């Protein structure tokens, strides 16, 4: 049974469109994001497709948890976020890392953190929370985004000054 030429052409076009879309999403966009931040002097661990730096993060956490924690030891950051400790020592206090093809910008400089948190225009928008986390934290200021976050922040701001 022969495949009609029109059906073959259509399936090849669909396949080409899917391949182009995958190249765009998984290679082109991450490359441009990385290039944009590199021009500003911000680097980070290399993107490893398809999971980004998730494998490296898991490896760092397993290594940290394999070592026993001394009694009365309060420096837990190295145990909970060992990848931050390592990448800060390698790339500095501002670095870019990846979850899949989504970039995450880690900012550990107090002045930059202040600029992000106190930005009145709300330009620095956070990502949507995990739906399971929303049940835990609710719809408070931490879970809001955009104009709704800005309105709630303005309402509660006088309570902190």
Tens-digit pLDDT profile for residues 73-105: 777 777 888 898 899 999 988 999 998 888 888
Q: Where are the domains of the chain?
A: 21-66+76-109, 119-161
Q: Residue 141 has what DSSP assignment?
A: G
Cβ of 50: how many Cβ atoms within 10 Å? Answer: 9
Which stretches of 24-145 are DSSP H helices? 29-39, 54-66, 77-80, 82-91, 110-117, 131-137
% of the chain at pLDDT higher than 70? 88
Question: pLDDT per residue over 42-57, tens digit each?
Answer: 988 988 888 888 889 9
d(CA 152, CA 72): 39
Do the beta carbons of residue 119 and residue 153 sit within 8 Å? no
Closest by Cα among 7, 112, 118, 97 to 46: 97
pTM here is 0.67
**Contacts for 87 with CB less than 8 Å, ≥ 6 apart:** 44, 45, 95, 97, 106
Highest mean pLDDT among 30-34, 109-113, 146-150: 30-34
Stretch 96-124: mean pLDDT, rounded? 80
């Amino acid at each position: 049974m022969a495949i009609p030429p029109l059906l073959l052409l259509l399936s090849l076009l669909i396949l080409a469109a899917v391949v182009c879309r995958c190249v765009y999403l998984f290679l082109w966009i991450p490359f441009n994001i990385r290039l944009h931040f590199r021009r500003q002097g911000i680097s980070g661990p290399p993107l490893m497709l398809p999971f980004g730096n998730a494998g490296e993060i898991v490896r760092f956490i397993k290594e940290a948890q394999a070592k026993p924690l001394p009694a009365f030891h309060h420096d837990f950051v190295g145990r909970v976020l060992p990848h931050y400790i390592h990448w800060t020592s390698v790339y500095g206090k501002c670095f870019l890392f990846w979850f899949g093809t989504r970039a995450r910008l880690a900012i550990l400089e107090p002045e930059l953190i202040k600029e992000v948190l106190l930005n009145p225009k709300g330009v620095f928008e956070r990502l949507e929370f995990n739906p399971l986390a929303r049940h835990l934290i609710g719809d408070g200021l931490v879970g809001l985004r955009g104009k709704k976050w800005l309105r709630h922040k303005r309402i509660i701001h006088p309570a902190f000054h």
